[in-house]
């Protein structure tokens, strides 16, 4: 039985945010990946289009989530379902770090507006 302790999360940083990876093939998960996101105050991550479904649950704080051009204020306890092919942007306009828990299937890739493709290590 794979158990990943909180102290064993692998930290990745990109676009001003921090991703702490817990579940992926390297930790024993065959189909799903899961990570905690830490989005500092004032962060505005670039829009990106995902090729897999993501479930984004906000644990603490508030964020502005733009999904396919529609912006919603999301508060702690809210969950956003991001479908494959959707374009997502995340902004933290507050003065406190927001934390999230995200799950997706193994192999997620994202494409930035400039055509750059990312295969984030926390989702592969």
Domain boundaries of the chain, sorted by first residue: 9-123
14 confidence band (pLDDT: 50, 70, 90):
very high
109 confidence band (pLDDT: 50, 70, 90):
very high
Closest CA to 104 of 18, 37, 17: 37
37 confidence band (pLDDT: 50, 70, 90):
very high
Round to whole Å and give the CA distance between 41 and 67: 20
Please determine, for residue 19, whether its predicted confidence score (pLDDT) is greater than 70.
yes
Round to whole Å and give the CA distance between 88 and 83: 10
Round to whole Å and give the CA distance between 49 and 55: 14
For the chain, the farthest-separated pair of C-alpha atoms sits apart, in whole angstroms, at 42
- Mean predicted lDDT score pLDDT of the chain: 96
Instruction: Kindly report the length of the chain.
Output: 124
Is 9-123 a CATH 2.60.120.10 domain? yes
Please determine, for residue 2, whether its predicted confidence score (pLDDT) is greater than 90.
no
pTM above 0.75, yes or no: yes
Please determine, for residue 25, whether its predicted confidence score (pLDDT) is greater than 90.
yes
């Amino acid at each position: 039985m794979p158990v990943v302790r909180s102290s064993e999360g692998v930290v990745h940083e990109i676009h001003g945010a921090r991703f702490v990876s817990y579940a992926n093939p390297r930790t024993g998960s065959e189909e799903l990946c899961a990570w905690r996101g830490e989005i500092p105050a004032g962060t505005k991550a670039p829009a990106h289009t995902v090729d897999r479904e993501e479930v984004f649950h906000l644990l603490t704080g508030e964020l502005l989530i733009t999904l396919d051009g529609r912006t919603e204020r999301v508060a702690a306890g809210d969950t956003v379902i991001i479908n494959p092919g959707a374009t997502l942007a995340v902004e933290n306009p507050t003065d406190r770090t927001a934390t999230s828990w995200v799950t997706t299937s193994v192999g997620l890739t994202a494409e930035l507006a400039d055509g750059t493709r990312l295969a984030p290590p926390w989702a592969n």
